[in-house]
A and B are shown apart, each in its own frame.
Chain A
Amino acid sequence: MAAEKGEKGAAAKEVAGERMVTLESSDGEEFHMSEAAAQLSTLLRHVIEGGGIDNGIPLPKVAARTLEKVIMYCEKHAKAAAKSDSDPSAAAGSSSDNTAAASEDLEKWDRKLVNGLSQDALFDLIVAADYLVIDGLLDATCRKVADMMKGKTPDEIRKIFNILNDFTKEEEEEMRREYAWAFDD
């Protein structure tokens, strides 16, 4: 049953004891996400604190399939944070093993998420994470792109990402000299 919370605006409705936020993707689809998860986005946090919007928060820069992934990420991380907060052994500080294992699992989950994306979807997610200011998601996605660039020649990098080589021949030669140390193998 939805209860109105005056200060937060109608965008924050309560569902099964958890406050939810409604988001609208660029293609008009509506999504719900818990407020705890929405807090991971600095942008959404400010919007919610600022009083929210009656019919949900429009996100014209984020398409539905991307928003879906964003919400998946935020919900997962919000749950993990809540779990470690409420974990009594973590509070006692004795089981750093548990927290280490938990954060390792979370990292694995993140990697699995980004590894399963097509290149287009990955870049869409980067744009969304940047726009929504979700640091952890930006980190995971940028790390993935960085990994794709490591160990490759400039030409290979261009091929993978469709980058145009806009140097003149002379410029390219000069740069080869400037960065010669990156190439002697």
Chain B
Amino acid sequence: MEGGHEEEGSACGAEAADQFDRLPDAVLLDVFNRIGDVKALGRCALVSRRFHALVPLVDSVFVRVDCVIPDDLPPHAGSPQQQEAPAAAAAVPPARGRGSLAHIARFLLGVIARPIQALGQILSPVAATVSRRSAPQPASPPAPAADVSHHSPSEVLRSFKELRRLHIELPTGELGIDDGVLLKWKADFGSTLGSCVILGASSVSSKPPSPPNPPETDAADNSAASPESTREPEESGSLPESLYTNGWLKLRVVWTISSLIAASARHYLLQPIISDHATLESLNLTDSDGQGVLTMDKRQLQELRVRPVSPSGSSHRTLMPALRMRLYYAPHVELPGGTLLKGATLVAIRPSEDASREGGGAGAAGSAGTCWISNAFEEPYRTAAKALLKTREYCLEMNSF
């Protein structure tokens, strides 16, 4: 080493050595595996030949979709500015500034918007009041199937041949919900739906609860965690008459169907990624709003490779099998931290075939099968789910769609 002061890793001439020379490839790969963000990894790949050779070997990647370009606006060549397009079915408020994965978002959002549109047409009277976004829109021309200037998720992930864990985050949830309404879903899929848990509330407030109001729509339940409180006498498992007549049930059906459609649309568009990456062991597709979480574990990914997905008609989403749903309701649920949920509803959904195979049915709350429900969400919603699970269970069946 020539004389002179010791520099701390700054480029000062021939004596400064590449810090990574001392690290074996396996350790450098360990570093890359902790970068996560796919864009940062892409940039690393251009640093040197060694980096370029190793980056594609990472086993875990996080793709953050930066922003959304509404479906019927032309892509801007220069700097894409976000615009509100209230008439566009795919319009979502710009969540972030412009970013390079706008194209991916457009690809993803384009296919999700149309099913939501269809949903609006099926349930229009209710949809119009529940959500701006799911209201029926004038038919917009279908999005171009492939546009050269876009980068599809498959393209971005193409060079990562050893991928084992993949996490994609959309900028926002697909479901437009009014302020103050809570709607969260968590679903897992193999070739088709494995299970889905939905948590909704017609209003969320952070005030401490005043003395409980007289029950609005449901005489069955006056407080969240007291399963013993008086209930309307009724057939076991079926909903009280009152709930059918004042939109209570319609609202929850819309929540349920919207969530399932969003989940199945996400699942459907993951197929090319899954078939391109045979080494995948875990896949998560979330959104930064925390609205929906789709997961697939190793076994489920394998199942999908062996048994391809059935699309639902001509919409770009996976077919839902016949479903058995367990619904739990409480007019008030207080979360740790003081937030109050009104009209809180928990819906636990599984394919009817699975549910009957395991002997689950009304009153099966004590069986091995409620962990997946109570653990679906993180706190503080986990507490809500657990509280709701203690209330009366209503069973519903839904046909395949």
Show the binding face of A for B, using Cβ within 8 Å.
118-120, 123, 126-127, 130, 138-139, 142-143, 145-146, 149-154, 157-167, 172, 175-176, 178-185
Query: B100 an interface residue at 8 Å Cβ cutoff?
Result: yes
Set of chain B residues within 8 Å of A183, measured between Cβ atoms: 42-43, 100
- Evaluate whether A181 and B48 lie within 8 angstroms (CB atoms) in the complex, with A126-B23, A138-B30, A146-B34 already known: no
Closest chain A CB from B145 CB (angstroms): 19
Set of chain A residues within 8 Å of B41, measured between Cβ atoms: 182
Sort A-B residue pairs by CB-CB distance and give the 3 closest, nearest first. Answer: A182-B42, A119-B9, A146-B34
Set of chain B residues within 8 Å of A139, measured between Cβ atoms: 34
A-B contact number at CB 8 A? 119
Chain B's closest residue to A153 (CB) is B43
Asked whether, in the complex, the Cβ of B30 is within 8 Å of the Cβ of A142, the reply is: yes
Set of chain B residues within 8 Å of A182, measured between Cβ atoms: 38-43, 45-46, 100
Asked whether, in the complex, the Cβ of A179 is within 8 Å of the Cβ of B43, the reply is: yes
How long is the Cα–Cα vector from A130 to B22 in the complex, in angstroms?
11
* Chain A residues touching B, majority SS: helix
Asked whether, in the complex, the Cβ of B9 is within 8 Å of the Cβ of A126, the reply is: no
Asked whether, in the complex, the Cβ of A146 is within 8 Å of the Cβ of B32, the reply is: yes
Chain A's closest residue to B27 (CB) is A130
As a 0/1 sequence over residues 6 to 33 of chain B, the CB contacts with chain A under 8 angstroms (1 = contact) are 0011110000111110111011001110
Chain A's closest residue to B66 (CB) is A185
Closest chain A CB from B22 CB (angstroms): 6
- Evaluate whether A185 and B100 lie within 8 angstroms (CB atoms) in the complex, with A127-B23, A146-B35, A159-B11 already known: yes
- Evaluate whether A162 and B17 lie within 8 angstroms (CB atoms) in the complex, with A119-B9, A127-B22, A149-B35 already known: yes
Closest chain B CB from A81 CB (angstroms): 23
Set of chain A residues within 8 Å of B27, measured between Cβ atoms: 126-127, 130, 138, 142
How long is the Cα–Cα vector from A161 to B100 in the complex, in angstroms?
26
Set of chain B residues within 8 Å of A166, measured between Cβ atoms: 48-49
Query: B101 an interface residue at 8 Å Cβ cutoff?
Result: yes
Asked whether, in the complex, the Cβ of B48 is within 8 Å of the Cβ of A149, the reply is: no
Closest chain A CB from B35 CB (angstroms): 5
- Evaluate whether A181 and B20 lie within 8 angstroms (CB atoms) in the complex, with A118-B9, A153-B43 already known: no
How long is the Cα–Cα vector from A140 to B329 in the complex, in angstroms?
45
Say which one of B118-126, B151-159, B274-282, B353-361 lies at the interface with A: B151-159
Set of chain B residues within 8 Å of A165, measured between Cβ atoms: 47-48
Set of chain B residues within 8 Å of A153, measured between Cβ atoms: 43
Asked whether, in the complex, the Cβ of B48 is within 8 Å of the Cβ of A158, the reply is: yes
How long is the Cα–Cα vector from A154 to B24 in the complex, in angstroms?
21
Of A138, A163, A167, A175, the contact of B20 (CB 8 Å cutoff)? A163
Query: B37 an interface residue at 8 Å Cβ cutoff?
Result: yes
Output the residue of A162, A167, A180 with the most chain B CB within 10 A.
A162
Closest chain A CB from B41 CB (angstroms): 8
Asked whether, in the complex, the Cβ of B35 is within 8 Å of the Cβ of A123, the reply is: no
Asked whether, in the complex, the Cβ of A142 is within 8 Å of the Cβ of B34, the reply is: yes
Query: B44 an interface residue at 8 Å Cβ cutoff?
Result: yes
How long is the Cα–Cα vector from A160 to B8 in the complex, in angstroms?
10
Q: Given contact pairs A150-B40, A175-B45, A183-B43, enumerate 7 new A-B contacts (beta carbons under 8 Å).
A: A127-B22, A138-B27, A145-B31, A149-B44, A160-B9, A165-B47, A182-B39
